[in-house]
Chains A and B, each alone.
Chain A
């Protein structure tokens, strides 16, 4: 089931104006259709055209994520929840979170948190992917949604995630998440966590 959480602003970089975007809890056939019809062909086209040295800079590191398959696997499980952002009639962002993970930060180790399994903005919103990325603000709205869910679940705003290299600096420098370093059990991707105190500061 998909329910509207609220309407938020996304900055349209092409016009310089803010536009309404809807944040939903849940994911439906429209979002998967947008992914299959609009996101996936762009990823594949860009990947085919990219020179080898461009693969790292083209913001394509999540291009292999199969949201349709993930929805089939996780859609009926209570441990997972999806969030979607729509604007201009299209899905602009997708996120899956897991409510069964535990904190790794000293002092709150073992405390439950919201773990962001997958978070992606539409390809046309990405620097590197296109020279004229459209909407700015999908990531912050999604992280805000993860923090709100964490508070609702009594996890005090704690959020954890493994970051793709393309996003590490955003999690560390913009959100101020704690960088716990590469995780050998997770493709050596860096693991980041937001503590309850950091979450409180971010939502103020």
Chain B
């Protein structure tokens, strides 16, 4: 399989790989796991929120 990424996407992948100290393949595996988990929870009717330091919650809309 060939993965086609734009320069910006590739740069983000490079950055995450460096920040997490794992290979680009491992970053993509983590991303896939996260995406699948979120999809499963949303399919069950759950909602996804981010909480800031002030404990304010904001719902994340998934497309």
Contacts and interface: CB of A to CB of B under 8 A. Distances in A.
Interface of A: 76-79, 99-100, 110-112, 153-156
Given A112-B22, A154-B23, A155-B22, A99 B37 contact: no
Interface size bucket, B side?
10 to 19
A100 B20 contact: no
Interface in B15-31: 19-23, 26, 29-30
A100 B34 contact: yes
Contacts of A156: 21
| Chain A residues touching B, majority SS | loop
Given A112-B22, A154-B26, A155-B22, A78 B40 contact: no
Contacts, number: 36
B36 A99 contact: no
| Chain B residues touching A, majority SS | helix
Contacts of A155: 22
A111 B21 CA distance: 8
B37 A112 contact: no
A78 B20 contact: no
Contact of B30 (A76, A77, A110, A112): A112
B45 to A, nearest CB: 15
A79 B26 contact: no
B20 A79 contact: no
A102 to B, nearest CB: 9
Nearest to A153: B26
Contacts of B57: none
A78 B23 CA distance: 18
A74 to B, nearest CB: 10
